[in-house]
Amino acid sequence: MDLDFKALAAAKTDDELSDIYINPEKYNEDLLPFAEAELAKRGIYLSPLDEKRRLKVARETPVLVHEERGKPLHLIIFFILAFAGGLIGIVAGYHYGYSYKRGFGGQKYYEFDKNTRSFGRIIFLTGLLVLIFVASLRARHNHIAAGQAG
């Protein structure tokens, strides 16, 4: 599906185009140049919008850079669930190990600190290995049972 970004930008109001310019991370990245061109075509100066964009980035960057520390009790519970072969443990491990937030310009910021990410990856891999091990045992058991029945 190809979008006609030029027509899409032309259909937007001045306020919507300004929002696209100030908050491009909320929109399809291919729309930004067309929004800029449409603003210029309408005679709307970008310098006041640049100032709003700069202030937004300055305000949001410290929040995005902050990495949370995972709660130890939660990490232990999810490790136990992963070790028991639970999908919840696998999903939680993936969340702690690999999740990030997107900032201005598509910049990625990890959601959790390095120690939490490391433990999250351990939880994730433990859960996967246990799940694979259990699945192979079941497959082997079913294969043996099918051989004895025949």
Q: In this predicted model, what pLDDT tens digit does every residue of 102-138 receive, in sequence order?
A: 776 667 888 899 999 999 999 999 999 999 998 898 8
The residue type found at 143 is H
- The full set of domain ranges for the chain reads 5-65, 72-149
**Spatial distance between the Cα atoms of 83 and 93, rounded to a whole number of angstroms:** 11
**Spatial distance between the Cα atoms of 58 and 93, rounded to a whole number of angstroms:** 32
- Supply the pTM of this predicted model: 0.59
**Spatial distance between the Cα atoms of 9 and 20, rounded to a whole number of angstroms:** 9
CB-based contacts of 118: which residues, under 8 Å, 6+ apart? 97
What would the pLDDT profile of 42-62 be if each residue is shown by its tens digit? 998 888 888 888 887 777 767
Write the CA distances from 148 to 2, 11, 103, 137, 142, integer angstroms: 57, 70, 59, 16, 10
Helix ranges, 2-113 (H): 5-11, 14-22, 32-41, 47-65, 72-83, 87-98
